[in-house]
Amino acid sequence: MKSDLAIRAAAPDLTAIKQRQQATWASGDFAVIGTTLQIVGELLAEAANVCAGERVLDVAAGNGNATLAAAHRLADVTSTDYVPALLDKGRERARAEGLAVHFQVADAEALPFPDGGFDVVLSTFGVMFAPDHQRAASEMLRVLRPGGRLGLANWTPEGFIGRLFKIIGAHVPPPAGLKSPALWGTKQYLADLFGAGAAEVRCKRRLFNFRYRSAAHWVQVFRDFYGPTHKAFAALDAAGQQALERDIVALLQDMNVAGRESLVVPAEYLEVVITRQEGAPR
C-alpha cells in the first residue's frame, strides 16, 4: 500500500497547473475564436430556458457568448472568468449591444458568491478546463438555488476538438495525473461528478461547424490566437512545430465536409442541462 507521502508526490499540483492554464488562456487572443462560437451560447440559453428577470451566472465565460445570450433574454447576468482580459472583451461586446451585464473576475473553483444566489448557471467550453473537476462542479451547484438549472456546452472526446487535444497531447504531454477536460463531454461522467446534487441530467449531442478558408488558414488562426494551440507551438522547436502542424492539417482534411474549395469541420459537443436537487447535499 502506498504511503501518504507517495500519494501526495504522485498527485498533480493543481495550483501550479491552474497558474499555467491561466497564462495559456491569456495568451493569443481567444476572443478572435470565441466570437465565432456565439451560436452555442444562444442554443444553450434556450436549452436552459433562461427567462427575463432570472439571476444568471456565466462561469469561465471567456469573451461572453453565454453571457450575451442570457442578456439577450433580459436576464440579470453576472459574467465571470479568471482572465481579466477576456472579461474586457465581453464587456466591449455587451456595451456595443447596449446590454446591462455585471463582469467580475472569479475562479470557477472558488466562486465568490453566496449559496443559492442564482437561478441559472451557464458555461460554454469553459468550466470543463478547470483542473479540479469535482471542486468546480461543487461550486456551481453551491451557488445555484435548489431547483435551478445548470447549462453546459462541453467538447466530446470523440469529436474534432477532443481529437485535436489528443494530437496536441502527443506532441506536448499534459501534466501527469491531470484529468482530461473532454471527460465533461460524456454523460456518465457528469452524472457521477454531480451525483446526488443533480435531480436530472439531460444531454444532447450537437455539432458546431468551424468555417475557415482552408486547413492552413485554420492552423494559422488557432496558432496565433487560441491559447492551447498557441502555447503548444511555442513549446516546440522548428521540427516539432512542423510535425504538429502536419498532424493537425491531416485531422482537418480528414474531417472537412466542404471539399477542396473551403473548410467546414463539424465539431461535436455535448449540450447539458442539469437541474439541481431540491435540498440536495453539495
pLDDT in tens, 133-177: 999 999 999 999 999 999 999 999 999 999 999 999 999 998 888
Judged against a pLDDT cut of 50, whether residue 113 lies above it is answered with: yes
Judged against a pLDDT cut of 90, whether residue 246 lies above it is answered with: yes
Q: Per-residue confidence at 11, pLDDT binned at 50, 70, 90?
A: low
Could you name the CATH architecture of 15-276?
Answer: 3-Layer(aba) Sandwich (3.40)
pLDDT tens column, 178-233: 899 999 999 999 999 999 999 999 999 999 999 999 999 999 999 999 989 999 99
Residue whose C-alpha is closest to residue 167's, from 219, 98, 103 = 219
Q: Per-residue confidence at 22, pLDDT binned at 50, 70, 90?
A: confident
Say how far apart CA 151 and CA 48 lie, in whole Å: 6
Q: Is 115 exposed, middle or buried (0-12, 13-18, 19+ CB in 10 A)?
A: exposed
pTM for the full predicted model: 0.92
